[in-house]
């Protein structure tokens, strides 16, 4: 088992990464007699709810659970309210610990519920998708969607522990695993060339979920994200680098309608566009663009624009991005492989040009 610590101004908390952490009572910062409420959904609960409940009961906890409907479309105030109702019906006070058992959706909703119930109760993350394990469970961002915007309502709220069981990935659809790998490759590309090199050697082991490679990979990603978060807890500076490929990717997601492509798939193509753009600016060598493309392809991720989406269709979406300030398009680009920066006023013709290079021609 590996452990990464997240260091904040006034607190720290551990992220445990191991093979059977779901069944190891010693990892849980809970005592006999304490009350816990597990938040999950039916898809995940069928595999892991009983196991987790059993582990917590071994500690001596009083365990209840509440299941939310599965899906991004339920990441909203209604699901949030289901959690509050369960907490109030069970007479839970400020000493109850909320546990998120699930992917990024469950983690984000449960985290915001924990931040808000009686103005804050303890919270543990047990992420069960690769994306949640390397990204959403680390950093303390919690949110629900509004019908007029994604992740518009939420809080910065840190868990007391993150417990990652790599075994849970074996029930995750392969496509979701691969989408998670897009974020993994992103960490290498923006900040960590040695890790990128390591990924080139081990990507097949990750795709096939080999435990040792997975553990090392997840721990490395958590460490990179934890370092960024420690420098920038409430997202004023450095965190921006984590958005490599995301502005292009959001255009794809919005154009196709959320849910058609997975987030990681859209980000994969977006990273290619950012890489090509960086090459056109003279920063990134052509062979490094090729390395990124090859690694993404080996993770079974798309590297070209979705069928039928025209290059001209990207910019209107991109200009609506939160990162647009006074009409200027801010984009995360690469100075070189393993070193990202924020371009404050990206030239639109070059953007279009880069998008064209990543568009299928029939």
Ligand X SMILES: NC(=O)c1ccc[n+]([C@@H]2O[C@H](COP(=O)([O-])OP(=O)(O)OC[C@H]3O[C@@H](n4cnc5c(N)ncnc54)[C@H](O)[C@@H]3O)[C@@H](O)[C@H]2O)c1
Q: Which residues are catalytic?
A: 119, 141, 183, 225, 235, 239, 243, 246, 250, 263
* Footprint on residues 226-255 left by a copy of itself (CB under 8 A): 234-235
Q: x/- contact string, 8-47, with a copy of itself (CB under 8 A)? A: ----------------------------------------
Residue 41: left if φ>0, alpha if ψ -120 to 50, beta else—which one?
A: beta
316 CB contacts (<8 Å, ≥6 apart)? none
CA 282 to chain centre: 30
* Footprint on residues 98-137 left by a copy of itself (CB under 8 A): 115-120
Strands 35-40 and 331-336: unpaired
* Footprint on residues 158-197 left by ligand X (CB under 6 A): 168, 171-172, 176
Partner whose binding site includes residue 139, from a copy of itself, ligand X, none (CB under 5 to 8 Å by kind) = ligand X
CA 281 to chain centre: 29
Partner whose binding site includes residue 90, from ligand X, a copy of itself, none (CB under 5 to 8 Å by kind) = none
Taking CB under 6 A as the rule, does residue 76 contact ligand X?
no
Smallest CA-to-CA distance from 321 within 291, 346, 288 is with 346
Contact between 38 and 44 (Cβ < 8 Å):
no
Task: Output the CA angle 18-22-28, nearest 5 degrees.
Answer: 95
Q: How far is the CB of 233 from a copy of itself (least distance, A)?
A: 11
Q: Any idea what DSSP says for residue 10?
A: S
Please give the annotated binding residues for Zn(2+), written as ranges: 183, 246, 263
How many Cβ atoms from other residues are within 10 Å of residue 14's Cβ? Answer: 16
Q: Residues binding a copy of itself: what is the number (CB under 8 A)?
A: 27
Candidate ranges 18-26, 68-76, 79-87, 229-237; the one touching ligand X (CB under 6 A): 68-76
- Positions touching ligand X (CB under 6 A) are 41, 43-44, 47, 70, 72, 75, 102-106, 108, 128-129, 131-132, 135-136, 139, 141, 151, 168, 171-172, 176
């Amino acid at each position: 088992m590996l452990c990464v610590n997240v260091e904040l101004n006034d607190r720290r908390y551990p992220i445990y990464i191991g093979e059977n952490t779901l069944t190891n009572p010693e990892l849980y910062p809970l005592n006999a007699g304490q009350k816990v409420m597990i938040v999950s959904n039916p898809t995940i609960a069928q595999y892991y709810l009983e196991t987790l409940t059993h582990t917590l009961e071994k500690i001596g906890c009083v365990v209840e659970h509440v299941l939310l409907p599965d899906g991004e479309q339920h990441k909203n105030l209604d699901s949030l309210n289901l959690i509050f109702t369960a907490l109030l019906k069970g007479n839970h006070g400020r000493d109850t610990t909320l546990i998120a058992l699930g992917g990024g959706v469950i983690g984000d909703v449960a985290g915001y519920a924990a931040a808000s119930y009686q103005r804050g109760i303890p919270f543990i993350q047990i992420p069960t998708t690769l994306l949640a394990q390397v990204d959403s469970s680390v950093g303390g961002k919690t949110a629900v969607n509004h019908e007029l915007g994604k992740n518009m309502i939420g809080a910065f709220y840190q868990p007391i522990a993150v417990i990652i069981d790599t075994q849970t990935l074996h029930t995750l659809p392969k496509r979701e695993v691969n989408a998670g790998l897009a974020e993994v490759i992103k960490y290498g590309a923006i900040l960590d060339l040695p890790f990128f090199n390591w990924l080139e050697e081990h990507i097949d082991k990750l795709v096939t979920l080999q435990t040792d490679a997975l553990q090392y990979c997840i721990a490395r990603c958590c460490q990179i994200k934890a370092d960024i978060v420690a420098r920038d807890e409430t997202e004023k500076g450095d965190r921006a680098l984590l958005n490599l490929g995301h502005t292009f990717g959001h255009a794809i997601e919005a154009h196709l309608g959320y849910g058609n492509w997975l987030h990681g798939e859209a980000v994969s193509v977006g990273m290619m566009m950012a890489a090509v753009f960086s090459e056109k600016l003279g920063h990134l060598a052509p062979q490094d663009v090729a390395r990124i493309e090859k690694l993404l392809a080996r993770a079974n991720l798309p590297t070209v624009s979705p069928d039928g989406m025209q290059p001209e269709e990207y910019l209107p979406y991109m200009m609506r991005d939160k990162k647009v300030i006074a009409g200027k398009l801010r984009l995360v680009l690469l100075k070189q492989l393993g070193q990202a920066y924020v371009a404050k006023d990206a030239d639109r013709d070059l953007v279009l040009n880069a998008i064209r290079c990543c568009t299928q021609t029939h």
